[in-house]
Structures are given as C-alpha cells and as structure tokens.
C-alpha cells in the first residue's frame, strides 16, 4: 500500500488525497509526504495509523519528513503508533495543547474511559463537549460492534483556532460498510451501502424497521444530522464508496433529510478500495447549535422517515 501526505488535505479538499491512496500489496505500507510542509485533517492521520497497524512494523517504509511536518506527526502520535523512530525531541507543546493524539480503542470500557478523559484536553464548553462526546461514542461503538477490525478504531482530533472548529477523524481496517449492511439489506455497491447506512432505521443487524434490541440503525444518521444542522463537513469512505456532506450556506434551510443523497453532497463509487471504514467530521464551534436543539430537528426527521418507509411497504388496493 502507498499513501502520500499532501500539502493540504481537509474535508473540503480531501478527495485527491483519497484518490492517491494505493491499496495494492496490503502486506506493506509506504508513507510519503510533501517535501516542504503538510497540514492535514485528523482523518488523514487516522487513516495512515490504521493502515500502519494492519501491517507488520518492519513492513512500514516511511520517508524522512521535513522538520515542520515531523513536529506535527510526532505531536499527534503518528510515529509512535507506527513504531517509526524520529530524532526529533519535542520541547514545547502548543500553549493550550488542544488536540487529542492518535488513540487506538479496541474495547467498550476503553471507549468510556477515553470519552471521560478527552473532554478536558480540548477545553470545550459543556454543550460543545456533549456534541463531541456523542460523535466519538457513536462512531467508535459502530467500529467495535460491526467492523470486526482486529486493530479496533483509530482516532484523533484537533482544535483549529483560526476556524474555531474541532476536526475529528476515525478509521478502521475492518470488514467495511457493505459487508455489514448486506447482512440484512440489498446493496450492489459500496456507495449504495453507505447510502443505506446513513438512513435512519437501517442496520445490518436486521431487515426489520426499528432495529434490534441493541441496534436502532441511527448512529450514522445522527452524526450526519449534527454536521448538517451545524452546516459542517462530514465524510464517510468505505470500500470504493465515498460520500461527502457539503457545507450548507446560511441561506439554505436546516431541515434534515433522511436520504443522504437528498442533502447537498458529493459522492464517488470508484475510489481506491479502503478495507474498512473512515469517517471525518468538522464541528465549527461558533455555529454549534445547543445539543438539545439539534435533537428537535433530528426527532422530526427520524420518526417521519420510518413512517414513510413503512408506508412504502403497505399493500395497495387494486383498482380495475
């Protein structure tokens, strides 16, 4: 496998970074980076770390990074997680240190502990902390319950002062969304599977509406909805499918859509195949609605989507 870290890869312009990923020869990983400097979304680091954890440490080849980049990679824990040695000693952190370094989570109790410990690291207001905790919990639990990923979930997050936003990336190298969703629903492509996984009430654990006693099929819908109401980016990438919720302009309605393809989005069905699932989310803090207001919007869409889908299956009278 080969992955190249470009100058810039944030959710708005992440497509070329993903298209540049070469999944061939999965037993080895080569990491290269732009010669001058790099500035990337945490999702890019989570992807690289997840790939690295899936191969033997002696099969990882990493170019010598330029000093400004290596500082960032060391600070975010990339080199440590991949057992890549670095001569650099970090003397100082950023003043506030508002980031969560790369973290691997493999068990439910680990996740609970992590959520408790991560909030103080980002110095968030209580309402913002609820939103972040919610997103991390739902996304990581999805990995733990459905992904069958030996390395679990790999995530990191960072606060960006200029945009006053938190950016989060979570990646796994498990079975992917199509394998999970097609246990109970029909999906011909990875992108179709992503579409189903983002719809409320659809889970790979049962073909029935309402889910099972343990799974409602609503986790990803909630996350996409949080991004949509806050007018933020959200991406999901699995197999060769890629979906990006685009930012809404302030003039557009905040009304939520049950079908992710009805939202303002871009999508691709021919990306380099990612064995597993990757999710990236931005939370712009200036425009983060109070969490309970987000729930009002979600409530209407969630119930009506289920009602609409049930109606689609009603038997119709035959008029002759």
Partner 1 sequence: MKRIEIRVHAGAFAENKDIARDLRLKELIPSLEKNEDIVLDFEGVEAATQSFIHALISDLLRKYGGDVLDRVEFKSCNDTVKKIITIVVDYMQEGTA
Q: Which two tokens stand for residue 97?
A: 């240190």
d(CA 313, CA 320): 21
C-alpha dihedral sign at 228, 234, 236, 237: positive
d(CA 65, CA 77): 14
Q: How far is the CB of 207 from partner 1 (least distance, A)?
A: 13
Q: How far is the CB of 116 from partner 1 (least distance, A)?
A: 7
Q: How far is the CB of 136 from partner 1 (least distance, A)?
A: 9
| Residues that bind partner 1 in the complex, under the rule CB under 8 A | 108-109, 111-112, 115-116, 126, 130, 133-134, 137-138, 141, 145, 201, 209-211, 213-216, 218-219, 222, 291-292, 295-296, 298-299, 302-303, 306-307, 310
Q: In angstroms, what CA-CA distances link 228 with 168, 194, 221?
A: 15, 17, 10
The residue among 44 and 298 lying less far from partner 1, judged by its C-beta, is 298
Q: Which two tokens stand for residue 140?
A: 């990581």
Q: Which two tokens stand for residue 90?
A: 């970090």
C-alpha dihedral sign at 219, 224, 229, 230: positive
User: Pick from 24, 46, 7: which is nearest to 235 by CA?
Assistant: 46
Beta-strand runs (E) in the chain: 2-5, 8-9, 29-33, 39-40, 60-62, 99-105, 153-160, 165-172, 234-239, 241-245, 265-268, 274-284
Q: How far is the CB of 106 from partner 1 (least distance, A)?
A: 14
């Amino acid at each position: 496998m080969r992955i190249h870290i470009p100058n810039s890869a944030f959710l708005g312009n992440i497509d070329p970074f993903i298209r540049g990923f070469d999944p061939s020869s999965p037993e080895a990983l080569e990491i290269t980076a732009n010669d001058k400097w790099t500035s990337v979304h945490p999702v890019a680091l989570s992807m690289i770390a997840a790939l690295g954890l899936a191969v033997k440490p002696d099969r990882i080849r990493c170019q010598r990074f330029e000093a400004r980049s290596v500082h960032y990679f060391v600070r975010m824990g990339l080199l440590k997680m991949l057992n890549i040695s670095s001569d650099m000693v970090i003397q100082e952190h950023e003043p506030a240190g508002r980031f969560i370094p790369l973290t691997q989570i493999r068990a439910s109790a680990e996740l609970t502990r992590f959520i408790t410990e991560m909030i103080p690291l980002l110095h968030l207001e209580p309402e913002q902390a609820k939103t972040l905790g919610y997103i991390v919990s739902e996304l990581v639990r999805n990995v733990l319950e459905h992904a069958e990923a030996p390395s679990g979930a790999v995530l990191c997050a960072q606060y960006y002062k200029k945009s006053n936003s938190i950016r989060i990336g979570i990646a796994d190298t498990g079975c992917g969304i199509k394998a999970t969703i097609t246990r109970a629903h029909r999906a011909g492509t990875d992108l179709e599977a992503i579409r189903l996984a983002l719809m409320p009430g659809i889970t790979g654990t049962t073909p029935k509406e309402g889910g099972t006693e343990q799974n409602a099929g609503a986790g990803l819908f909630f996350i996409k909805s949080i991004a949509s109401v806050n007018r933020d980016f959200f991406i999901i990438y699995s197999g060769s499918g890629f979906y990006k919720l685009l930012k809404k302009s302030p003039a557009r309605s905040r009304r939520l859509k049950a079908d992710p393809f009805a939202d303002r989005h871009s999508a691709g069905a021919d990306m380099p195949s990612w064995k597993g699932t990757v999710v990236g989310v931005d939370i712009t803090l200036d425009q983060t609605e109070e969490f309970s207001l987000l729930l009002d919007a979600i409530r209407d869409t969630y119930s009506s989507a289920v009602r609409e889908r049930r109606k689609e299956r009603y038997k119709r009278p035959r008029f002759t």
